[in-house]
Amino acid sequence: MSKIEVPRTAPVPLADLVAMNTEVEQDVRAAWDGIIASSGFIGGEAVSQFEELWAGSCGTDHAVAVANGTEAIELVLRALGIGEGDEVLLPANTFIATAEAVVLSGATPRFLDVDPATLLVTPEIVRAAITPRTAALIAVELYGNMPRMVHLAHLAASSGIALIEDAAQAQGSTLNGRAAGSFGTAGCFSFYPTKNLGAWGDAGCVVTNDAAVAAAVRSLGNHGRAPGDGNAHQAIGRNSRLDALQAVVLTAKLKRLDEWTAARREAMEIYRRTLNHELVRFVEIEPHVASSYHQNVVLVTERDAVQEQLRRDGVRTGIHYPVPCHLQPPYRRYAQGPLAIAEETAGRLLSLPLFPHITERQIEYVCDCVHRCLDQVAGRSRGTRRSYG
Ligand SMILES: Cc1ncc(COP(=O)(O)O)c(C=O)c1O
């Protein structure tokens, strides 16, 4: 086996957060000085300002900042009165937090299979799963790709169930020009540091056009307080508030989000032009979606061997996600049977390096490494076929 020479383009990280954070560092330091001077560390002007900007960016009437993306989903479910005795539909191939939020709300998760090309739920899959106990669908905008949200919204409305968007991975994604998060009763975002819009700690947000949902989420995330009266508690809530440091980081990064998203899209064009092998294919983007490309996910033969070879070549990759939610031990009790596509694709998913500052040479290097590795895989399988004649 010939040894690959590692050129100066390696190592290639899966993501480069330092480059993004360095860009906003000066803005954040300046804003942070003001926060120290006022000593208003949680909520306050910085948080309200970010909420206004994020609602504007999503095209919704309201944005309520919360502590993280998991609680954004859980608080929306609770705000909608969804809990014990209710079933909530969600895809099996999501980050575990989507399912976790459903269980924490008291409701029962019902896992769905997905389309093999896009890895997203479709209206057909959802329609077939709705029962009289279904209270909501959580549509996950996986990797920044968006399901057929207009159809799903009609289906949800005609079926009398809520549509909640898990837009944790879709900051900056649009469908026909309309932002992720704005199609459902509410959209839930995570601003975990590795997200396209990432804080310097945990952070999340709920966006909605429904004033009552916004008010309920705000109250539930602030110990169930009644508006305007810090000592009146109208519900058993929790502490899920955003702090001012995260708000100023997010405000500074939001100014650059369009530019960073454009850079991700350009990088994906280079990947699509350069990566071309019979044993690998990109996850398909739904028509009319401009993905934020939170992850660049391909389906590849002999994934584990390819990942290990790439590691040796200095290329960092990820797997989002190796085990579907319904097969994770604590969630098996909710599984209603095998989910063929989610289970089969989990063994072939591979996330390749993608971040706004990635260079063309880095992408070419990654593609070159993948090609060489897959040529070896193809050679091996031809050899195997020959030997079994
Ligand atoms: C699809 C999805 N849903 C929910 C979450 C939960 O967000 P957080 O980690 O901020 O709680 C994440 C992020 O990690 C995610 O990727």
User: Which pLDDT score, from 0 to 100, does residue 2 have?
Assistant: 46
User: Which pLDDT score, from 0 to 100, does residue 241 have?
Assistant: 97
Residue whose CB lies within 8 A of the most ligand 1 atoms, among 66, 70, 243, for a mutation test = 70
User: Which pLDDT score, from 0 to 100, does residue 387 have?
Assistant: 40
Ligand 1: which atom is nearest the Cα of residue 204? 10
Collect all residues with Cβ–Cβ distance below 8 Å to 286 and sequence separation of at least 6. 118, 120, 145, 146, 147, 148, 175
Number of Cβ within 10 Å of residue 344's Cβ equals: 13
User: Which pLDDT score, from 0 to 100, does residue 8 have?
Assistant: 61
Q: How far is the CA of 308 from the centre of ligand 1 (A)?
A: 26
Q: How far is the CA of 335 from the centre of ligand 1 (A)?
A: 21
Instruction: Kindly report the protein residue whose alpha carbon is nearest to atom 12 of ligand 1.
Output: 168
User: Which pLDDT score, from 0 to 100, does residue 389 have?
Assistant: 28
Residue whose CB lies within 8 A of the most ligand 1 atoms, among 169, 189, 194, 242, for a mutation test = 169
Q: How far is the CA of 360 from the centre of ligand 1 (A)?
A: 29
The helix (run of H) or strand (run of E) holding residue 56 is helix 45-58
Q: How far is the CA of 249 from the centre of ligand 1 (A)?
A: 18
Provide the 8-state DSSP code for 363. Answer: H
User: Which pLDDT score, from 0 to 100, does residue 239 have?
Assistant: 98
Determine contact, residues 74/54, Cβ cutoff 8 Å: no
User: Which pLDDT score, from 0 to 100, does residue 6 have?
Assistant: 57
Answer whether CATH 3.90.550.40 is correct for domain 256-388.
no
Q: How far is the CA of 75 from the centre of ligand 1 (A)?
A: 14
Q: How far is the CA of 76 from the centre of ligand 1 (A)?
A: 14
Ligand 1: which atom is nearest the Cα of residue 202? 10
Query: Following DSSP, what letter does each residue of 147-191 receive, concatenated?
Result: --HHHHHHHHHHHT-EEEEE-TT-TT-EETTEETTSSSSEEEEE-
Ligand 1: which atom is nearest the Cα of residue 70? 11
**Domain ranges, ordered by start, for the chain:** 18-251, 256-388
Mean pLDDT by 10 residues, the chain (389 residues): 58 96 97 95 96 98 98 98 98 98 98 98 98 98 98 98 98 98 98 98 98 98 95 97 98 98 98 97 98 98 97 97 98 97 98 98 97 91 54
Four-CA torsion 264, 265, 266, 268, nearest 10 degrees? 90
- Closest to 185 (Cα-Cα) out of 97, 81, 49: 81
Ligand 1: which atom is nearest the Cα of residue 142? 1
Q: Global pTM?
A: 0.96
For 365-378, write each residue's pLDDT tens digit: 999 999 999 999 88
Query: Following DSSP, what letter does each residue of 372-387 receive, concatenated?
Result: HHHHHHHHHHHHHHHH
For 121-170, write each residue's pLDDT tens digit: 999 999 999 999 999 999 999 999 999 999 999 999 999 999 999 999 99
User: Which pLDDT score, from 0 to 100, does residue 341 have?
Assistant: 98
Q: How far is the CA of 191 from the centre of ligand 1 (A)?
A: 8
User: Which pLDDT score, from 0 to 100, does residue 5 have?
Assistant: 57
Ligand 1: which atom is nearest the Cα of residue 68? 10
**Residues flanking ligand 1, CB < 6 Å:** 68-70, 94-95, 97-98, 140, 166, 168-169, 190, 192, 202, 204
Q: How far is the CA of 95 from the centre of ligand 1 (A)?
A: 7
Determine contact, residues 92/342, Cβ cutoff 8 Å: yes
Instruction: Kindly report the protein residue whose alpha carbon is nearest to atom 8 of ligand 1.
Output: 69
Q: How far is the CA of 97 from the centre of ligand 1 (A)?
A: 6
Fold of 18-251: Aspartate Aminotransferase; domain 2 (3.40.640)
